[in-house]
Chain A
């Protein structure tokens, strides 16, 4: 066949015309075979997505992991509600920001309420932050974990660390013996608790002064700062440091699963917020208020409640965490003794009882300014 200039031009025109039609077609496209999930790492692994893809052959299932809650929320705010179907974040945001801003929508209660019955007692009640004031269900809890600090129990005993709590890091004897895991938003909460301040309530001038002193002392006494949990665990294991400020099951579990059970997340026995000094994060997965929603969103949310998938989520690569579904003995039985030890299953109820819920920091901007200045000096 010979291609004349005329037929070539005609072909190009046809293609241009067709491509001009495409966006319109796309906007009206049926999204029944597409699902986009914005989540913390874990839900995007093959162990979780693979079986769901098999169940929905032909569907395009994508999951992208974020690096912080605000980053992921910013994506929705920037107009990506049209892109995502599910969002997985820590507990304060669904009730505090996403629902009031219309970025997420309620889930089908009839479909999901029965799953709460089988969850661990803290969630079976059911869990208050999973609900709007109106009683609508706005997110399903799954992974969670106490998150305060981590010690090497060969150097600092668990009892002593729990009794001393955050004051451990103000002890002059600890100078140059600890690191700071620079998860900045968590550091703010933990530094407030160290200074006997409630991070979730606005502070007065004296409070800011106390915070400044604590931040300067914590950074001044730290041997290393890093936002890499592997580097931090390495320093703890080789004896470079004996503890690190900010950490918990999430960061200690990879080392513990490798047999280093002397690396342990610690929850202080007492503290300034209703007598509690520990903090716990709980992830909620919510349905994004996508104007063109995918029916697969709720299917996936129900799918991850299954015992073996709950295990895959809790034991995704990188970090290992308890899941609310372990309240069901059938789910808990999937973890072997080493795996339960990795997630500090033995002390979990006690640690949960000594922890307050992770929440938004009231004076975030001002504290962040003090914090970065202290870090620099």
Chain B
């Protein structure tokens, strides 16, 4: 009986597995194949020489990878800190207002990321909404708030907020109120409850939110281009340059593979730690 169930499960999973193999695995395998080709070729039918990876090390591309990962890490940490209270309120305190908040946050996703970021350019630039008003009121202005690393991190935080907020709220909703009350009754402090009850029980939500934000931020490009004025060159930018102006597909593919490998390893580690079944409500 068990064997039959297992076989049926495999059978049901086949279409999805096929779809994933075709739409997700195949492109990555193609990129991987390109990444080991000699440089400046446009087909995968050459003798592999791995020289593109040598170029990655020799030309200091690791610096762009480091910048992307560091900014993604900073954005994820900031997002966690600012989303936790909000998500807590959505899950436990607000009632009807949660829906309003959800709609409000989701609505922002209907507008293209570039347009939203350009709105921030107009707000933060010299003579823009903020500096312009301050200069008008006080008579002294300053140099604008754009074109630096903190503003890129700000952009990441702004754009990826929904991707932290909703999984976190979902995770916090899984913390039973009884457990918190019991801890209170037993004399736990507020801090102890957070550390020993809420964080561990909401861990799947935290992990999903952090992973989503980190992975998306690591591959982000628009924030650095529009808000940051390319104050630092992110790895996605390097990949784009290699494929277009550089006309060096193997180099672009190698750069992409390095990012995929790092982010993939972190994601697999994270997913292995989180009990995703618990989050979708299928507990065993």
Contacts and interface: CB of A to CB of B under 8 A. Distances in A.
A68 B61 CA distance: 24
A70 interface: yes
A238 B125 contact: yes
Contacts of B64: 376
B225 interface: yes
A361 to B, nearest CB: 11
Pick from A179, A372, A377 the residue with the most CB of B within 10 Å: A372
A226 B225 contact: yes
Interface in A327-377: 365, 368-369, 372-373, 375-377
A349 B263 CA distance: 54
B245 interface: yes
A4 interface: no
Given A240-B125, A373-B59, A373-B60, A224 B245 contact: no
Contact of B225 (A185, A228, A235, A240): A228
B150 interface: no
Interface string B52-64: 0000000111011
B233 interface: yes
B144 A376 contact: no
Contacts of B61: 376
Contacts, number: 72
B98 interface: no
A238 B128 contact: yes
B158 interface: no
Contact of A369 (B59, B144, B146): B59
B245 to A, nearest CB: 4
Interface string A177-200: 001001011000000000000000
A227 B225 contact: yes
B229 interface: yes
Nearest to A370: B59
Nearest to A232: B229
A225 B230 CA distance: 5
Contacts of A100: none
A2 interface: no
B133 interface: no
Contacts of A226: 225-226, 229-230
A376 B121 CA distance: 23
B135 to A, nearest CB: 11
B60 A377 contact: yes
Contacts of B231: 224
B230 A182 contact: yes
Contacts of A365: 40
A179 B229 contact: yes
B147 to A, nearest CB: 4
A239 B128 CA distance: 11
Nearest to B147: A224
A373 B42 CA distance: 23
Contacts of B118: 231
B247 interface: yes
Nearest to A77: B42
A128 B40 CA distance: 31
A223 B143 CA distance: 11
Interface in B103-127: 118, 121-122, 125-127
A81 to B, nearest CB: 16
Given A184-B245, A238-B125, A376-B61, 4 more contacts: A226-B226, A238-B126, A240-B146, A376-B233
23 contacts: A71-B244, A184-B241, A223-B147, A223-B229, A226-B225, A226-B226, A226-B229, A227-B225, A228-B225, A231-B118, A231-B121, A238-B128, A239-B126, A240-B125, A240-B143, A240-B146, A372-B238, A372-B241, A373-B60, A375-B230, A376-B63, A376-B233, A377-B63
4 A-B pairs closest in CB distance? A224-B229, A225-B230, A184-B245, A238-B127
